Amino acid sequence: MAHSQASIDDTQIAPVELGDAGITRQEWVYLQLKEAVLTGQFVPGRSVTLRGIAQMLGTSPTPVREALRRLVAERALEAHGNRRVSVPRMTPAKLSDLCAVRANLEAFAAERAMPLIDDAHLERLWELDAEVDAAIEAGDIRGYLQRHRAFHFTLYDVGDASAVMPLIESVWLQFSPFLRLAIHHIGSDYIVDRHVEALHAVSARDAQALRFAIEADVREGLGSLTEQDWRELEAAG
């Protein structure tokens, strides 16, 4: 196997230069890598080397080492016994598990955030949903992933920092590389969501309806992959 690139343009990261905005080099590397993972720039199974990333980002291995430790701790990357780090491969069991956790976590977060969502916040959410649809219409997968994520995170992240947000982010980091692959395989035509339903539930202050919408959104999004899809995906990869 070794380098099964799975027909996706690889490692196209670091478009912006280090802004020197009081940010440490390690944090910059971390943000770059995280965004790359979330937008599916890293193919599952790909091994991530210290010096490779360092050279790609134009730094010494030191900041990369620390950034990788953070990402491994957040389950975005996977550390093997060989002391080597790679992008985790997805398995049916893992996907099912991740899907259940995500549904539970985000339904909880949405229900908790609902009372704190004001009109301005709600309007922002409508805008984001429109941008999501526009990205789908344009076939812009990377843009879709970013908008989609922005919608969900904006919905949950209200008021001061909640303890659930980092947990939700960790889950997203785990399924995102696979999601990109799946969308690329299935095509962007079949993407559906329950965003409108969720926003209506928020407007009506209907906690149960909101919970149902979020759970359905997750189930029909992540959990919709059938066994056949799996076989096709593995054959393609």
Partner DNA sequence: GTTGCTAATTTGTGATCACATTTTCAAATG
Partner DNA sequence: CATTTGAAAATGTGATCACAAATTAGCAAC
Binding residues (CB under 7 A) for DNA: these are 2, 24-26, 48-52, 59-63, 65-66, 82-85
Structural tokens at position 4: 């099964």
CB count within 10 Å of CB 223 equals 17
Among 5, 7, 12, 104, binds its own copies (CB under 8 A): 104
User: Out of its own copies, DNA, none, which partner does residue 105 contact, by CB within 5 to 8 A per kind?
Assistant: its own copies
Q: Which does 231 bind (CB under 5 to 8 A by kind): DNA, its own copies, none?
A: none
Q: Tell which residue, 50, 48, 72, 80, has the closest CA to residue 63.
A: 50
SS3 4: coil
Answer yes or no: are the C-beta atoms of 52 and 7 closer than 8 Å. no
Cβ pair 103, 218 in contact under 8 A: yes
For residues 66 and 133, which CB has a smaller minimum distance to its own copies in the complex?
A: 66
43 vs 77 by CB, closer to its own copies: 77
Phi, psi of 59 (to 5 degrees): -130, 180
Q: Cβ closer to its own copies: 36 or 135?
A: 36
- Cα distance between residue 184 and residue 57, in whole Å: 26
In angstroms, give the least distance from the CB of 189 to its own copies: 29
Which of 96-109 are b and which e, b meaning 16 or more Cβ less than 10 Å from the residue's Cβ? eebbebbbebbbbb
Least separation, in Å, of the C-beta of 36 and its own copies? 17
Residue 162's binding partner out of its own copies, DNA, none, with CB under 5 to 8 Å set by partner kind: its own copies
Strands, sheet with 47-48, edge to edge from the N-terminal-most edge strand: 47-48, 85-86, 78-79
One of 8, 69, 185, 232 touching its own copies (CB under 8 A)? 69
Degrees (nearest 5) of the Cα angle 205, 208, 210?
Answer: 65
The reply on whether position 73 binds its own copies by CB under 8 A is: yes
* Nearest approach, Cβ of residue 46 and DNA (Å): 12
From the list 70, 89, 142, 184, which residue makes contact with its own copies (rule: CB under 8 A)?
70
Nearer to its own copies, 146 or 170 (CB): 170
Footprint of its own copies (CB under 8 A): 24, 26, 65-66, 69-70, 72-75, 83, 93-94, 97-98, 100-101, 104-105, 108, 112, 160, 162-164, 166-167, 170-171, 174
